[in-house]
Amino acid sequence: MSRILTYIAVLLCFITITEPGRASESAGMSRRYAVRIDIRNAYISGVCIMHSDNDRTLSSIVNEFGVSALTFSYDERNRKVKIINILKQMNKAYIRKVLKSDLKKILPELRDYTAEGSYIYRNPRIDIQYSFTPLSLE
Amino acid sequence: MLRRLFILAFILLHVAAYAQTEKEIIDMVGKASAEMKSLECDFVQTKHLKILNDKMVSKGKMYYMQPGRLRWEYTYPYTYTFILNDSQVLLKNSTRSDVIDVNQNRIFKEIARLMMNSILGNCLTDEKSFQTDIETKGQEWIATLVPLKKDMKQMWTKLVLHFDSVKKSVVMVEMHEKTGDYTEIRLDNIKINRQIAESTFSIQ
């Protein structure tokens, strides 16, 4: 897993995957975070762009160079995470499973997070840590 | 029959003239690139996300110095620095620095080579990697590059380089993906062949 993430962190400069024809017209809340996912000796960093509207959150994680690693939706009513698109190298069943499970715990807490500083979630079983820091935009 | 031959000759001459112009552009860009000892500019990077109907704007500064040094530094809305110095790459954010030897990492070597060649316009002559078409539009030469290699084809459907026809340097790069997402990088306040401190490219 850590080797895959190391490889992905290197490749993320130029790889993007998203799903066509599903432009969001949400009039709800839009949030941006500096995001970092650490796993053992590897990490992925970038920006998480979230659109939330009533019961649904649509989000993309994009690295500093503009490469999309992950696009997903969260249905708050059914507490279900759907991965819409994911980097090819991350597109393994066990990675998707871990991400869905962790995001299901993260997203409700993140939506209500109002404290100063970063929101951090750690999965001790996999030794993976997620950090979301609100971005100040002009 | 004679009339048809005349029309065919006219078309062929027109095509030949067009091909000559494209070659001349490539030659001029190549010459300008070879004479470019250094380049310094601001950049604005805009990632257009089709699925979110949104965009992400980042800003920063770029420095290049011959023969193979590049500093790509994001200053807004995050701080992140990419430095290529000969065979080493430094990736640095607010909490961590990593140094990578590109000779030990084939993929990073390709990425670094592509970044340099895009900024300098050298990928116009990389016939193994791209199919290139060039058109003139006002004060710009616009080169559309379609990737030919599998790895690149997985990443992009096309790259578009915009050249200032007076300065003969890149002013904008577009990177288009299969799904409709694309990234634009616009270069502003371009300064060519100015003195840049060596410490700008320090990997330490």
- Tell me the ipTM for this assembly: 0.76
Of A93-102, B13-22, B133-142, B146-155, which gets the smallest average pLDDT? B13-22
Cβ within 8 Å, pair A14-B175: yes
What is the C-alpha to C-alpha distance for residues A46 and B4, in angstroms, rounded to an integer? 61
Average pLDDT, chain A: 81
Return the pLDDT at B199: 94
Cβ under 8 Å to B: A residues 64-93: 64-66, 68, 71, 84-85, 88
* Full set of structural domains in chain B with CATH: 2-201 (2.50.20.10)
Cβ within 8 Å, pair A64-B53: no
Q: H/E element holding B46?
A: strand B38-49
Query: In Å, how far is B121's CA from the nearest CA of chain A?
Result: 18
With cut-offs at 50, 70 and 90, classify the pLDDT of residue A13.
very low
Q: Does A137 touch chain B (CB under 8 A)?
A: yes
Q: Is the pLDDT of residue B179 over 80?
A: no
Cβ within 8 Å, pair A16-B56: no
10 Å CB burial of residue B104 (0-12, 13-18, 19+) is exposed
Q: Is the pLDDT of residue A22 over 60?
A: no
Task: Identify all chain A residues contacting B47, using CB atoms and an 8 Å cutoff.
Answer: 62, 66
Which of B49, B93, B105 lies closest to A60 in CB terms?
A: B49
Comparing A16 with A58, the larger pLDDT belongs to: A58
What is the C-alpha to C-alpha distance for residues B178 and B52, in angstroms, rounded to an integer? 16
- Closest residue in B to A34 (Cα) is B78
Q: Is residue B140 a contact partner of residue B171, using CB atoms and an 8 Å limit?
A: yes
